[in-house]
Structure 1
Amino acid sequence: MSRAERLLDLIQVLRRHRAPVSGRQLAQETGVSLRTLYRDIASLQAQGAPVEGEPGLGYVLRPGFTLPPLMFREEEIEALVLGMRWVAGRADTPLAAAASDALAKIAAILPSDLRERLDASALMVGPADTAPDGIDLSALRGAIRAQHKVAIRYRDAGGAGSERVIWPFALGFFERVRVAVAWCEARDDFRHFRTDRMEALTLTGERYPRSRHALLRDWRAVQGIAPAP
């Protein structure tokens, strides 16, 4: 691996961590010695990268630092293509179109050799057998972004119907179904709602009283899911 590739890897590792991370952990994640890691940190700082910290305290990359997309490695391109193809085949129509548009924008700014690799990617996504949604999924995604309550008419696995007001804050895409993660006012607790069992969705325009980030954090704690790094 060249020195330039090593520095790029270090930046990518730093971007995955929101809190300061020790030099020893960075060295382990990038596969270099601690001495080499300290030299690489100094090189990045000398080149203007906003890496803050020092030995014993840890290092963090200040938010807002971006890299040109020309730095994509071949495996990163394959990951992008595979992910976009999965979304295009399994998401609702607006999100699927957005995935195709994003891939086209990436292709437009790649150098010719990398663009050819993107077009010729051999990683394919198999056919989907997804249960049809009972509501407009783009409206639900919009409510999640806006942190708004929605009213739904829902039918559970046993066929029993109910009307709920929920605070949706996440949407899980599984192989056959999509599941909204929400706080349910009727149950005063977290609940999961399959979108194919939603018979109606009404946008209230009313912001729910807690932030989406706080709800997601508490839901992860209840589920025993480790917080994002």
Structure 2
Amino acid sequence: MTRSERLLALLQLLRRHRHPVSGATLAGELGVSIRTLYRDIATLQAQGADIEGEPGVGYVLRPGFMLPPLMFSQGELEALVLGFRWVQKFADAPVTKAATDALAKISAVLPAELAAELENTALLVGPRRIVDGEIVDLAVIRAAIRRERKLRLSYCDASGARSERVVWPVALGYFEETRMLVAWCEWRQGYRHFRTERMAAIALLEERFPRRRAAMLKEWRETDAGPRRARQA
């Protein structure tokens, strides 16, 4: 392992730990001496990495430090391109544009040989089979999820029956044939799954839902309402 590869590996190790981790643990995982580990940490700090700690106490990497794009491996670039291409094909327009812009930013700062790999990767995404017909703005749903705000939803079920709901949005799933909102439904008093093409109207409410979304997402995953047992509204 070269020194640059070792510094990158050290950053990745620190990123996996939210709390201080001892120098001995880091050195052991990297397969280097504790003296080498201390030198590597000093090098990263000099390059701008916000690493806090000291020998005998432990080290932690504070959020906000960005890895230089040139440090992506070929496999990492292929994974990024495949993910971006999937988003470009299956997501709604604002997210698609964001993915295109992000990929362009990465490509612009890569060394020439890696930029060429980015352009010529052979990993492709299959055809989109989603049934169009959405009339609501998914950006409103994403805003409600981020801000933990309630949504008023006018919804038609599979039989065409229309209902008015107030829901607590938890997640938005993108699939080949549909997009689906996971939410706690006040009317049903449980988690339900709403296909976006069946939404007739949505409105972002000022009222926040009374629980943290992260806790609700964990609960949804662990209960009978979870991903493999999805119940539609």
> TM-score, structure 2 length as denominator?
0.79
1:43 aligns to 2:43 (yes or no)? no
Listed one character per residue, the Cα deviations across residues 63-111 of structure 1 (whole Å, up to 9, x for unaligned) are: 2222222222111111111111110100001111111111111111112
Q: Partners in 2 of 1:24 and 1:158 — Cα distance? A: 63
- Cα distance, 1:148 vs structure 2: 1.7
Residues 165, 185 of structure 2: 8 Å contact kept: yes
- Cα distance, 1:137 vs structure 2: 1.5
1:126 aligns to 2:126 (yes or no)? yes
Q: Are residues 170 and 16 of structure 1, via their aligned partners in 2, closer, same or farther at CA, if it must alter by over 3 Å?
A: farther
- Cα distance, 1:140 vs structure 2: 1.2
Q: Which moved more, 1:76-85 or 1:62-71?
A: 62-71
* Count of aligned residue pairs for this structure pair: 220
- Cα distance, 1:4 vs structure 2: 1.6
> TM-score, structure 1 length as denominator?
0.80
Q: Which residue of 2 aligns with 1:80?
A: 80
Q: Are residues 21 and 177 of structure 1, via their aligned partners in 2, closer, same or farther at CA, if it must alter by over 3 Å?
A: farther
Q: Are residues 105 and 17 of structure 1, via their aligned partners in 2, closer, same or farther at CA, if it must alter by over 3 Å?
A: same
Which consecutive unaligned segments of at least 5 residues does structure 1 have?
none
Q: Are residues 37 and 137 of structure 1, via their aligned partners in 2, closer, same or farther at CA, if it must alter by over 3 Å?
A: farther
Residues 129, 175 of structure 1: 8 Å contact kept: yes
Which consecutive unaligned segments of at least 5 residues does structure 2 have?
228-233
Q: Partners in 1 of 2:19 and 2:187 — Cα distance? A: 37
Matches within 5 A, 1:91-170: 91-132=91-132, 133-170=134-171
Q: Which moved more, 1:118-127 or 1:193-202?
A: 193-202
Q: Partners in 2 of 1:192 and 1:20 — Cα distance? A: 40
Listed one character per residue, the Cα deviations across residues 133-172 of structure 1 (whole Å, up to 9, x for unaligned) are: 3522122112222222111122334544322101112112
Give the aligned residue type for 2:40: L
Q: Partners in 2 of 1:21 and 1:196 — Cα distance? A: 48
Give the aligned residue type for 1:161: R
Give RMSD over aligned pairs: 3.0
Give the aligned residue type for 1:148: R
Q: Partners in 1 of 2:197 and 2:25 — Cα distance? A: 43
Residues 20, 59 of structure 1: 8 Å contact kept: yes
Greater Cα radius of gyration, structure 1 or 2: 2
Q: Are residues 41 and 209 of structure 1, via their aligned partners in 2, closer, same or farther at CA, if it must alter by over 3 Å?
A: farther
Listed one character per residue, the Cα deviations across residues 18-77 of structure 1 (whole Å, up to 9, x for unaligned) are: 34567898689x6x44xx27556423322214054777x875422222222222211111
Q: Are residues 84 and 182 of structure 1, via their aligned partners in 2, closer, same or farther at CA, if it must alter by over 3 Å?
A: same
Q: Are residues 221 and 107 of structure 1, via their aligned partners in 2, closer, same or farther at CA, if it must alter by over 3 Å?
A: same
**3-state DSSP of counterpart to 2:211:** coil
Residues 51, 60 of structure 1: 8 Å contact kept: yes
Quick one: percent identity of the two aligned structures?
Answer: 53
Q: Partners in 2 of 1:170 and 1:123 — Cα distance? A: 28
**3-state DSSP of counterpart to 1:171:** strand
Q: Are residues 203 and 26 of structure 1, via their aligned partners in 2, closer, same or farther at CA, if it must alter by over 3 Å?
A: same
Give the aligned residue type for 2:103: L
Q: Which moved more, 1:79-88 or 1:193-202?
A: 193-202
Q: Are residues 208 and 113 of structure 1, via their aligned partners in 2, closer, same or farther at CA, if it must alter by over 3 Å?
A: same
**3-state DSSP of counterpart to 1:149:** strand
Q: Are residues 53 and 216 of structure 1, via their aligned partners in 2, closer, same or farther at CA, if it must alter by over 3 Å?
A: farther
Q: Which residue of 2 aligns with 1:5?
A: 5
Q: Which moved more, 1:10-19 or 1:161-170?
A: 10-19
